[in-house]
Structure 1
Amino acid sequence: LFPGVDLLALYKGEQGKFIIFKVIKLTLRDSAGGLGGYEILKVHDAEPFLGVEVKFVDVAACQQFLESYSSGAVLQSLNQHACRLLGLTQDFTVRTQLKAGHQNLDLCLDQLAVCLQHIHLSQPERLRDEEIDHLEQQLQSQALGPAPQPPTVTQEESPVPSNCFKFQNRVFEDRMLTAADVQSFSNGVGRQWKHVGRALGKSCRALKGPAIDNLAYEYEREGLYEQAYQLLSRFIQAEGRAAKLSRLVRALEDSKLTSLAENMLGMQPRE
Structure 2
Amino acid sequence: MADRAVKHGPWTGCAVLFLQSLCPHVNLLSLYKDQSRKFIVFKVIKLTLIDSAGGLGGYEILKLHDADPLLGVEVKFVDVAACQQFLESYSSGAVRQSLSQHACRLLTVPQEFSVETQLKASTQTLDLCLDNLQLCLQHIQLSQPERLRDDEIDSLEQQLQDQALGHAPQSAALTKEESPVPSNCFKFQRRVFEDRMLTAADVQSFSNGVGRHWKHVGRVLSKSCRALKGPAIDNLAYEYEREGLYEQAYQLLSRFIQAEGREAKLSRLVKALEDCKLTSLAENILDIEPPE
Q: Which runs of 5+ in 1 are unaligned?
A: 43-50, 55-73, 88-140, 143-148
The 5-angstrom pairing of residues 112-261 of structure 1 reads 151=172, 157-261=178-282
Equivalent positions of 1:1-20 (< 5 A) are: 2-3=4-5, 5-6=7-8, 9-10=11-12, 14-15=59-60, 18-20=75-77
RMSD between aligned residues: 4.2
Which is higher, the Rg of structure 1 or of structure 2? Answer: 1
User: Percent identity, aligned pairs only?
Assistant: 60
CA distance 1:189–1:233, change in 2 (3 Å):
same
**Structure 2: any 5+ residue segments left out of the alignment?**
14-56, 63-74, 78-82, 88-117, 148-155, 158-169
**1:26 maps to amino acid:** K
Structure 2 CA distance for partners of 1:13 and 1:250, relative to 1, 3 Å: closer
TM-score normalised over the length of structure 1: 0.54
Please give the alpha-carbon distance, in whole angstroms, between the structure 2 residues aligned to 1:29 and 1:264. 47
- Would you say the 8 A contact 2:129–2:136 is kept in 1? no
**Preserved CA contact (<8 Å) 1:19 1:86:** no
Give the TM-score normalised by the residue count of structure 2: 0.51
Is contact 2:6-2:141 (8 Å) kept? no
1:25 aligns with 2:119: yes
* 1:86 alignment partner, one of 132, 141, 146: 146
Change (3 A) 1:78 1:158: closer
Separation in 2 of the partners of 1:180 and 1:28? Answer: 47
Shift of 1:52: 4.3
- Return the structure number with greater relative CO, CA threshold 8 A, min gap 6: 2
**1:114 aligned partner:** none
What residue identity is the alignment partner of 2:245? L
Give yes or no for contact 1:10–1:16 (8 Å, CA) kept in 2: no
Q: Which has the higher strand share?
A: 2
Contact persistence 1:185–1:264 (CA under 8 A): yes
Residues 186-243 of structure 1, C-alpha deviation per residue, up to 9 Å, x if partnerless? 0000000000001001111101111111111111111000000000000000000110
Distance in 2 (CA, whole Å) between partners of 1:268 and 1:223 is 29
Q: Does 1:265 align with 2:286?
A: yes
